[in-house]
Every structure is written in C-alpha cells, then in structure tokens.
Structure 1
Amino acid sequence: MARYAGGELHWIPFLGLRLRPRHAIARRGLTVSTRRPLVGEEGPAGYWTVDCGGVSLAMSEDALTGFLAWVESAPPSAHLDAA
C-alpha cells in the first residue's frame, strides 16, 4: 500500500502491525525510465512494472495512472537536482 504525502510516496507494508512507511520515494528528481505490463508468471493481468532510477514498482493500471499524474504534476523545479 502506498500514499502520497507532500513530495514523497510512502510505501507501507500491506501485512504487519506498523502503519508507518517502510520506504519513502521523493518526487524531486524522480523520472520514470521504463514502464511495461507484467507478463506470464510475473504477476496478475492488468498490472504494470515501472522503473524509476534504480527503484522498480509493480502496480495496477489504475494506480499507474495516479502515480504518473503525481510525478508529472510536480513543479518544473522539482525535476532539478539540488546540487
């Protein structure tokens, strides 16, 4: 399970007692390098895998639409590295 919080995507384990995020992916500098549907034994039909600079996420088609909208809705300066 995931939720958007400000400029981060918080990844929360579906099973377990903790409701705090296990991982946080910052939108700043995040780019989607590839996306493709899962095939065969990789996962259920209608799910996609998205590669984002070393992080791979699997999600439903509806979740993919929301994720891409969240990434693309960032202000223009959000895709610049804070050098």
Structure 2
Amino acid sequence: MRVLEIVGICVVALLALLFAIFFRRRLLMAGGGTIRLQVRLSTLVPGRGWSPGLGQFVGDELRFHRMFSLAIRPKRVLDRRFMAVEERRLPTGPERLTMPGHWVVLRCVTGGVPLEIAMAETTVTGFLSWLEAGPPRDPGALRSRPVFGPRPSES
C-alpha cells in the first residue's frame, strides 16, 4: 500500500509540473506577438546545442523563452538596434533531425556576438520586417546593418 501512495504522489507531482509548463506557455502566448523559434545556445558540438522556445516581440526586443522551463524571465533578449542578419541557410546534418523541414537558420550578429536562430520559413519575413522597422539612428553611431549578404566593403 505504501508503494502505491509514493507512485501516486509522483504521478500527481509530474502532472502538476506539466500543467505549470503548459500554463506558462499559454500566458506568454496570450499577450500576442509570439513566434516559435530555436536558438543555438551552445556551439561545442557541430549541429547541436539548439533550444526550442517562444520568441516574444516587445518593442525593440525579441525575448526568447525556453519551451520546457518554468522561468518567468527570458533566457535571451535580442535588441534589434544592435542586430544584423548575415546569412540564411537550410538546416544541415544533425540539425535536420531537431527542427521541422520548412525551417530556416539565420546567422545573426548582435552586439558583435554571433548567434544562430531558426524559425519557420513563413516567419522569417515577419522577423525581417520587424528587424528593419527599427527607429532611425544617428548615422555615425553604428555602421549600417546588412540584412543579407556580406558586409559592405569599407573604403
């Protein structure tokens, strides 16, 4: 009888944990302006290190919340004023197993730090529109940020 009680408590705790994760996800999505995406958090092993989650657009920021986490705060905050997309590619190698076939990987630079994010091909257009729709800046403050392709040659 004691074993059944312990198993029952474990099952209830597991269900409560799953409910909390589901409820947190619903709260994040209720505000609108959310997309599904993956962010590469580790580059130690080629093709690995991707973390699925939700991206939430808040003003000039894209806030990345991990999918299977109870944290209220985002794991990463990307500011569009300091972000540029350098390359667009399809998933390769082990990446093809961890993300849907219609997803695209964007190699970005944010504040001088390289970052890879992956999202659905249909979401990329909206993401790039958001990225380009930033407020005007002082032309001498930062170099222009290319959306695709190589950086402009410096003369």
The reply on whether 1:62 has 2:122 as its aligned counterpart is: yes
Q: Which amino acid aligns with 1:45?
A: G
Cα deviation, 1:17-68, whole Å, max 9, x if unaligned, reads 1232110011112111011122464232110000111011011112212211
Larger helix share, 1 or 2 = 2
Aligned to 1:51: 107
Contact 1:47 1:61 (8 Å CA) reproduced: yes
Higher relative contact order (CA 8 A, sep 6+): 1
Which whole-Å CA distance do the structure 1 matches of 2:138 and 2:60 have between them? 9
Over the aligned positions, Cα root-mean-square deviation in angstroms equals 2.0
Pairing partner for 2:87 from 23, 34, 52: 34
Amino acid of the structure 2 residue aligned with 1:50: L
Write the letter of the residue equivalent to 1:36.
R
Confirm or deny that 1:72 pairs with 2:132: yes
Distance 1:25 1:36 in 2: 20
User: How far apart, in 2, do the equivalents of 1:77 and 1:21 lie?
Assistant: 26
| Percentage of matched positions with identical amino acids | 32
Alignment CA distance shift 1:38-1:78 (3 Å): farther
Contact 1:36–1:49 (8 Å) recurs in 2:
yes
Q: What's the offset of the Cα at 1:78?
A: 7.8
1:21 is paired with a residue of what secondary structure? coil
